[in-house]
Each structure stands twice: as structure tokens, then as C-alpha cells.
């Protein structure tokens, strides 16, 4: 049996009974699709009912105030969806005589309707042959066909949209679109899909190659997490104080220096920073900035500052991982690259000037 027929057969047996599946009215389907963007069915369902009760037609929607729309939207998140809906309802009344558009090329021009939603409304309401490509479709196709192109990359989107439209079941686009999305939502789930009862598992690339947990591939967004680590270089005779980094953080079992970490960029001349240094290193401690660096890891952007510290005091009993080492020994210790770079600059190049 074909991929498409397997999905449709599965759907006819397993589909959830959802209210927007009993209509081909474009306005009602639009309500459901906007509400279900970035929203799970269980959360969106009561909102769909509430909106349909308050605004049985697009005329009722357009006549409402934006404040009333947003009040009804309260708790659903991404409030621009509600604002865009209100604007679109008024455009439909003004430019389409209150008849909600049902063709893709008209729908795509409306506020809050992108490629996915235009395909969904057009296929469900008028049977137009447009393949829906939502998160469920990306997942089903990536797993079944073994596609590892990142789904959130420009090339990945082209690839998946092209494949989805090739696969579209032209005899009944609406039925097929519903089938593949529902299959992704409740059978081919993101986490722990039940492949043991999947009718497609024998032909599924991911299942046959033990890749269900790695497909689809998604590019990780560059992390916004910033860390600010202020290092203090303590020297005595020909030795320097180092610290072995412990479990539970980056750079486990590599060596760096005693540090004070903050959540924001500190002003090194502020009294607060001076006070914290004195609390940590003693009242006579003083410090001079030597270097500042930025280091990028997969999930973190680390802002480092290095200070030379004078007249410090340490409670060595509580700092077992602290060690005095010679420069020769230091060079033998494993260090994060950014620390090693600093060491080279500070203890060698800098000192020779």
C-alpha cells in the first residue's frame, strides 16, 4: 500500500473527533487554524468554542473591538495572532463582502496567514491541492524518508515543501492533509512514538535505522545565554593559583583560575564589585584588569575578564581544588582554549615586553 493510503487508513480509524473537522466553512476553519498555531489541541479547543460562540460569523468578529478580541484571547499567548485576526476579519468584510476567502492565493495575503495556514484553509474548505507543512509533517517526512536536512534551514524548508507537494493525494487533498498531521500529532509524536503499533514502521527509514530519536534535525538557535566570569590571577614567587573545574558545568576537570561569576556585565570600577572582591579575597585585596575576552560555546556566550590580584587572602581549607603550580606545571595542565590563550599572552608574551 502507498504511503498516502496507509496514512489515510490510519486516520479513518484513529482520528480525534474535533469540531472543526465537521465543517468546510472557511471562516470556521480559519478560527481553528489561527488558534491552533503554536498551540496544542487541548489548549486551543475551549478558545475555539468561545470564539465561535461570541463571533458566529466574520461579520460579528469584524464588528467587535480589538480589546474584546484580546480579552477572549487572554491566556492563549502570542497575542499578535488575536490582533491579526481582528484586522483580517475587518479586511474580509470590507474587501470580500464578508465572504471569507477560500483560495490559497487570496488567503496568503491576509494578516496572520502564512504558507501553512493558507494551505490548510484552502484545502479543507475548497479542496484546493495544497500540501500543509507543519511541525507534524516535517517530523513524519523526515523520519519516514530519512531526511536529515535541518527543517528550520532555508534549504530544508524548500526540500520538505517540494516533497510534501509531490506526495499530496490529489484525489482528496483535505483528507490526506488531515491524515498526515493527525498521524504526526498522535502516532509519530516528537518523543517516544509508539513504533510498535505503527502501520508504516516496516518502511520507515528512521525506525529501520534506529534514528527515530534524531529525526527530524533542527538547527539549534544560537543561545542567548550569557555568562560573565571574572578571573583573578594570584601569583607568589614563581607560582600561580589554579583551580580544577568540577562536574555540573562546562570545562569539567580542566583548569582555570579563581573567579567571581555574575549574571550581567559588571562595572569593574563600581564600589559593589570592589566590595565583592574584598569579601572574597580579603580587605587588602586590589586588582588590575589585564585582559577581556569573549568565548562562544554551543549554548553559551562567555564574557571573561582577567584581573591581576594583589594582597589577597584565601581560606584554603574550603578550596580543596585550588593548587599552586609553577608556570612549567601550568603549561602541562589541561586548560580551556580561551584560558590557554590568556596564559600565553599574560605569562609569556606580556611578561617579555
Q: Which of 53, 97, 155, 191 binds DNA (CB under 7 A)?
A: 191
* 157-to-190, 214, 286 alpha-carbon distances in Å: 18, 18, 56
Shortest Å, Cβ 13 to DNA: 21
Residue 296: strand, helix, or coil: strand
Which residue, 185 or 330, is less far from DNA as judged by CB? 185
Which residue, 36 or 93, is less far from DNA as judged by CB? 36
CA 305 – CA 288 distance, rounded (Å)? 10
CB neighbours of 66 closer than 8 A, spacing ≥ 6?
Answer: 82, 83, 86
* 279-to-62, 156, 275, 308, 313 alpha-carbon distances in Å: 63, 53, 6, 17, 10
Q: Which of 12, 79, 96, 213 binds DNA (CB under 7 A)?
A: 79
Residue (of 278, 189, 274, 261) closest to 227 by Cα position: 261
Residue (of 136, 166, 160) closest to 146 by Cα position: 160
CA 131 – CA 115 distance, rounded (Å)? 10
| Residue 139 in contact with DNA, rule: CB under 7 A | yes
Shortest Å, Cβ 190 to DNA: 4
| Residue 212 in contact with DNA, rule: CB under 7 A | no
| Residue 56 in contact with DNA, rule: CB under 7 A | no
* 182-to-13, 115, 123, 243, 321 alpha-carbon distances in Å: 11, 19, 15, 54, 54
Which residue, 153 or 246, is less far from DNA as judged by CB? 153
CB neighbours of 322 closer than 8 A, spacing ≥ 6?
Answer: 241, 242, 243, 258, 314, 316
Shortest Å, Cβ 250 to DNA: 12
CB neighbours of 267 closer than 8 A, spacing ≥ 6?
Answer: 273
Shortest Å, Cβ 331 to DNA: 33
| Residue 143 in contact with DNA, rule: CB under 7 A | no
Shortest Å, Cβ 14 to DNA: 17
Which residue, 82 or 258, is less far from DNA as judged by CB? 82
Residue (of 204, 238, 216, 210) closest to 326 by Cα position: 238
Question: How big is the site for DNA, counted in residues (CB under 7 A)?
Answer: 36
Q: 149 near 156, Cβ under 8 Å?
A: yes
CA 109 – CA 105 distance, rounded (Å)? 7
| Residue 147 in contact with DNA, rule: CB under 7 A | no
Which residue, 14 or 239, is less far from DNA as judged by CB? 14
CA 174 – CA 217 distance, rounded (Å)? 27
| Residue 78 in contact with DNA, rule: CB under 7 A | yes
Q: Which of 171, 190, 313, 319 binds DNA (CB under 7 A)?
A: 190
Footprint of DNA on residues 219-278 (CB under 7 A)? 221-222, 224
Which residue, 141 or 277, is less far from DNA as judged by CB? 141
| Residue 299 in contact with DNA, rule: CB under 7 A | yes
Footprint of DNA on residues 106-125 (CB under 7 A)? 111-118
276 is a catalytic site residue = no
Task: Indicate which residue of 33, 106, 159, 182 is catalytic.
Answer: 33
| Residue 194 in contact with DNA, rule: CB under 7 A | no
Residue (of 220, 219, 221, 231) closest to 302 by Cα position: 231
The footprint of DNA (CB under 7 A) covers: 37-40, 42-43, 75-80, 84, 111-118, 134-136, 139, 153, 184-185, 190-192, 218, 221-222, 224, 299
- Residues recognised as catalytic: 33
Amino acid at each position: 500500500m502507498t504511503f498516502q493510503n496507509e496514512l489515510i487508513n490510519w486516520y479513518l480509524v484513529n482520528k480525534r473527533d474535533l469540531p472543526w473537522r465537521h465543517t468546510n466553512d472557511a471562516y470556521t476553519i480559519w478560527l481553528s487554524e489561527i488558534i491552533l498555531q503554536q498551540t496544542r489541541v487541548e489548549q486551543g479547543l475551549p478558545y475555539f468554542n468561545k470564539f465561535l460562540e461570541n463571533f458566529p460569523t466574520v461579520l460579528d468578529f469584524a464588528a467587535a473591538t480589538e480589546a474584546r478580541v484580546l480579552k477572549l484571547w487572554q491566556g492563549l499567548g502570542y497575542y499578535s495572532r488575536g490582533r491579526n485576526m481582528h484586522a483580517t476579519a475587518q479586511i474580509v468584510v470590507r474587501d470580500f463582502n464578508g465572504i471569507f476567502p477560500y483560495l490559497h492565493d487570496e488567503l496568503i495575503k491576509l494578516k496572520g496567514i502564512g504558507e501553512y495556514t493558507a494551505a490548510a484553509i484552502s484545502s479543507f474548505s475548497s479542496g484546493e491541492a495544497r500540501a500543509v507543512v507543519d511541525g507534524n509533517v516535517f517530523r513524519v517526512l523526515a523520519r519516514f524518508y530519512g531526511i536529515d536536512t535541518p527543517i528550520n534551514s532555508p534549504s530544508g524548508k524548500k526540500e520538505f515543501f517540494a516533497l510534501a507537494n509531490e506526495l499530496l493525494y490529489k484525489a482528496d487533498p483535505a483528507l490526506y492533509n488531515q491524515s498526515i498531521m493527525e498521524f504526526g500529532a498522535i502516532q509519530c509524536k516528537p518523543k517516544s512514538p509508539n513504533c510498535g503499533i505503527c502501520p508504516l514502521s516496516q518502511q520507515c527509514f528512521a525506525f529501520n535505522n534506529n534514528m527515530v530519536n534524531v529525526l527530524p534535525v533542527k538547527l539549534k538557535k544560537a543561545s542567548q545565554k550569557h555568562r560573565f566570569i571574572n578571573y583573578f590571577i594570584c601569583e607568589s614567587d614563581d607560582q600561580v593559583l589554579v583551580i580544577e573545574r568540577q562536574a555540573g558545568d562546562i570545562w569539567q576537570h580542566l583548569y582555570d583560575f579563581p573567579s567571581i561569576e555574575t549574571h550581567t556585565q559588571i562595572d569593574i570600577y563600581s564600589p559593589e564589585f570592589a566590595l565583592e572582591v574584598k569579601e572574597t579575597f580579603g580587605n587588602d585585596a586590589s586588582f588590575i584588569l589585564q585582559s577581556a575576552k569573549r568565548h562562544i560555546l554551543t549554548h553559551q556566550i562567555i564574557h571573561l575578564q582577567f584581573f591581576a590580584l594583589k594582597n589577597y587572602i584565601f581560606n584554603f581549607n574550603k578550596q580543596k581544588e585550588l593548587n599552586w603550580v609553577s608556570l612549567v606545571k601550568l603549561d602541562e595542565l589541561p586548560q580551556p582554549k580561551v584560558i590557554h590563550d590568556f596564559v600565553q599572552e599574560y605569562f609569556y608574551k606580556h611578561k617579555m615586553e
